[in-house]
């Protein structure tokens, strides 16, 4: 108070002229301080502004596209879904719609609109918040590329300064092109090209007026105006855009009315639907370690693959339809079984009934190894585990062709006799050995009786699926009827080591235990391994390694890699043809006969693993090899006793291939030189006489055909 009194006394002592001078002096000091503060503040703001020179080199995060064999987009890898296009490829309707809605004076102003800024600030004052920005297209571009998405007056000043610099350094068309490639359209999509693909499933040049208007309407608030979230709001926004375009005389009333009548997209395009998801992940796992995360997800690469959506989509739909039906049958069967048990015994069955039956399916180009279709499970979102490539399951009888090839390599022919008789093996501590002379169940029981209860004595008695025995049959009939004991007989005579070697040469990558049970498919294999191995036989003994990527280019179109089929000669074409010819009999007369309704030359093999935990069918034509599997992820047995690979998998495999092969030419497997055909008796394998009732035209490697005639009438 004392200081204030002294100051007032001091002022009272001054004359009027002195008071004025003092006031002017103080105002000058405060003004200078204000100007200096403002200058320092502006200097700090301008120092933080990035140089627009970098706009020439601006490379946004671009979308990497994955294409199928027919250049249809399968999927996208992106952090921000975006593609860069020149203005010449963007429809004029799209350009006009954006200008009409976002900045109708775009071609007349020099980067900012003072009237727009003042109008926006007045609205903000009335609304008591920063509700409207009054930004031009150039300001929006500067904000989107260089500035953080905060709302402040400092950022607004930076935005204005940057806009002025951009206008000084770039032409209007260049600015508009950058804006249209940069703007956010919701759902993680940036730029008009990615937006057109996402919302309409088409490239930008193909967009209609109504679609251009719809996209433009999204710009202020993509989340609120999305047709997938608020379709009616999206319709109203499109109407507003069309009316603005009409007012600016960009379109006529008739064009506006036609655009209004266009439907609003109700669901994402097929590109976003996720067909081939397991295949896309298979490709990603190969390419991401090679090129790195940034290049794959932000580099705008183009990945051209072998997948054929025309095969992939129906395969997905048909497999799911059939497995869903089998699920229902299994649940009904388990429920009926539970009803016949005590309550406490049925608890486990109820939990099993809730399990979901799984499946896998794969198509390879027989000659090149190209992956044409891949299904790794029923729902990628629920389980990303790829059962076509990552799952190891028992092959069951689908492993038998490797045994039969080993037999052919050891001098057997399709007409050679094999034994389908009871047999037993014992383990001597080092190896499994055949119990000599034990050729019927009684003799087997007598042979093992002294060792019952001996923990050191191991016995294995294989059996056929039907529990019956055919006696002596031909090699061909053993394969067609999938006789387990015939397979074990062959393994015993050619050796399990050779069988394992044949499987590896054909295309099986996993370790295989060389034991007698290898002939029953007790080893673990994957769907892709079986398909690849069978295609080796169908391809005349040439193994073509499976692959999914044809070519990869960078954003500038430079080729980064290009596939070359990897081929290895595994078996002679003559032996391969003889085996395939026997496998054709599996489809014509054997366990895979359901597939014969395709009415074309086809070979294959069914399979059911131990305790019916896996169901298989692998079939091939000269052009395509397809493998199908179904089972439970937890290795639970399939609950229907009469379910086999031939009765369950073959029907939906056939339904898929009926669609896939519809446009494929009907061709038979080519016969190599050195193969001859002889008519033989189907029962004995000897040369057929006119009196033989069951005759078959059999293929032999030249010089191995039978010399004896059938001596009995069948």
- By annotation, the residues acting in catalysis are 102, 397
CA distances from 517 to 391, 397, 499, 523 (A): 21, 11, 11, 9
Determine the Cα–Cα distance for residues 133 and 675; give it in Å rounded to an integer.
83
328: number of Cβ within 10 Å:
11
Two tokens, residue 665? 């030419």
686: number of Cβ within 10 Å:
19
DSSP labels, 59-125: ---BPEEEE-TTS-EEEEE-SSB-----GGGS-HHHHHHHHHHH-TTTTTSSS--HHHHHHHHHHHH
* Residue whose token pair is 């990628």: 380
Looking at residue 590, the DSSP 8-state letter turns out to be S
* Residue whose token pair is 């905060």: 150
Q: According to the 3-state scheme, what is the secondary structure of 25-75?
A: HHHHHHHHHHHHHHHHHHHHHHHHCCCHHHHHHCCCCECEEEECCCCCEEE
CA distances from 198 to 73, 201, 202, 271, 314 (A): 11, 6, 8, 7, 22
Which residues neighbour 634 within 8 Å (Cβ) at sequence distance 6 or greater?
355
DSSP labels, 120-163: HHHHHHHHTS-------HHHHHHHHHHS-S---HHHHHHHHHHH
Determine the Cα–Cα distance for residues 96 and 107; give it in Å rounded to an integer.
11
Provide the terminal-to-terminal Cα distance of the chain, rounded to the nearest Å: 134
Two tokens, residue 113? 């609109």
User: Rg for the chain (alpha carbons), in Å?
Assistant: 38
CB 580 within 8 A of CB 542: no
Altogether, the residues listed in the chain come to a count of 714
Two tokens, residue 385? 């585990």
């Amino acid at each position: 108070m004392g200081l204030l009194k002294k100051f007032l006394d001091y002022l009272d002592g001054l004359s009027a002229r002195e008071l004025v001078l003092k006031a002017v002096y103080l105002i000058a000091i405060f003004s200078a301080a204000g100007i200096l503060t403002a200058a320092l503040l502006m200097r700090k703001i301008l120092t933080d502004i990035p140089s627009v020179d970098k706009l020439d080199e601006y490379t946004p995060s671009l979308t990497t596209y994955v294409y199928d064999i027919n250049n249809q987009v399968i999927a996208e890898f992106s952090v921000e879904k975006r593609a860069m296009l020149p203005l010449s490829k963007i429809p004029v309707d799209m350009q006009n719609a954006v200008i009409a809605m976002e900045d109708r004076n775009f071609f007349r102003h020099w980067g900012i609109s003072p009237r727009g800024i003042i109008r926006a600030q007045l609205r903000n004052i009335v609304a008591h918040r920063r509700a409207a920005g009054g930004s031009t297209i150039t300001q929006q571009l500067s904000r989107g590329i260089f500035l953080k998405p905060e709302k402040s007056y400092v950022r607004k000043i930076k935005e204005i300064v940057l806009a002025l610099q951009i206008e000084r350094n770039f032409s209007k068309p260049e600015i508009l092109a950058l804006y249209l490639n940069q703007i956010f359209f919701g759902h993680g999509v940036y730029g008009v090209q990615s937006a057109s693909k996402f919302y309409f499933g088409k490239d930008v040049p193909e967009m209609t007026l109504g679609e251009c208007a719809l996209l433009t309407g999204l710009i202020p608030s993509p989340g609120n105006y999305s047709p997938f979230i608020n379709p009616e709001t999206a319709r109203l926004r499109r109407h507003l855009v069309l009316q603005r375009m009409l007012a600016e005389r960009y379109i006529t009333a008739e064009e506006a009315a036609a655009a209004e009548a266009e439907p609003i997209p109700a669901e994402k395009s097929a590109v976003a639907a996720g067909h081939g998801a397991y295949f896309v992940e298979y490709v990603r796992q190969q390419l991401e370690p090679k090129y790195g995360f940034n290049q794959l997800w932000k580099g705008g690469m183009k990945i051209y693959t072998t997948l054929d959506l025309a095969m992939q989509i129906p395969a997905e739909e048909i497999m799911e339809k059939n497995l869903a039906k089998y699920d229902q049958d299994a649940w009904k069967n388990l429920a009926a079984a539970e009803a016949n048990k005590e309550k406490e015994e049925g608890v486990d069955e109820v939990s099993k009934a809730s399990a979901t039956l799984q499946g896998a399916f794969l198509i390879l180009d027989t000659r090149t190894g190209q992956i044409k279709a891949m299904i790794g499970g029923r729902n990628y979102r629920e389980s990303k585990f790829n059962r076509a490539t990552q799952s190891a399951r028992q092959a069951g009888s689908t492993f038998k062709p490797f045994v039969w090839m080993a037999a052919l390599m050891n001098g057997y022919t399709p007409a050679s006799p094999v034994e389908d008789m009871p047999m037993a093996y014992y383990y001597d501590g080092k190896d499994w050995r055949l119990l000599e002379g034990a050729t019927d169940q009684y003799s087997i029981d007598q042979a093992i009786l002294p060792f019952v209860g001996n923990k050191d004595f191991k016995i294995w008695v294989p059996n056929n699926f039907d529990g019956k025995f055919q006696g002596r049959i031909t090699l061909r009939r053993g394969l067609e009827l999938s006789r387990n004991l015939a397979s074990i007989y062959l393994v015993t005579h050619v050796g399990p080591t050779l069988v394992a070697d044949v499987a590896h040469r054909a295309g099986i990558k996993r370790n295989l235990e060389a034991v007698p049970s290898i002939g029953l498919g007790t080893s673990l294999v994957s769907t892709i391994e079986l398909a690849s191995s069978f295609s080796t036989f169908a391809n005349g003994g040439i193994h073509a390694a499976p692959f999914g990527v044809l070519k990869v280019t960078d954003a500038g179109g430079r080729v980064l890699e290009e596939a070359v089929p990897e081929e290895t000669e595994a078996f002679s074409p003559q032996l391969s043809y003889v085996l395939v010819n026997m496998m054709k009999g599996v489809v014509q007369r054997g366990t895979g006969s359901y597939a014969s309704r395709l009415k074309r030359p086809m070979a294959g093999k069914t399979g059911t693993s131990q305790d019916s935990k896996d169901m298989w069918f692998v079939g091939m034509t000269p052009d395509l090899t397809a493998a199908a599997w179904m089972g439970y992820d937890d290795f639970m047995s399939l609950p229907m006793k009469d379910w086999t690979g031939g009765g369950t998998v073959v029907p939906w495999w056939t339904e898929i291939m009926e669609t896939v092969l519809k446009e494929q030419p009907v061709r038979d497997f080519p016969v190599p030189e050195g193969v001859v055909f002889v008519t033989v008796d189907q029962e004995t394998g000897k040369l057929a006489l006119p009196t033989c009732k069951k005759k078959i035209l059999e293929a032999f490697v030249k010089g191995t055909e039978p010399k004896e005639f059938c001596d009995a009438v069948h």
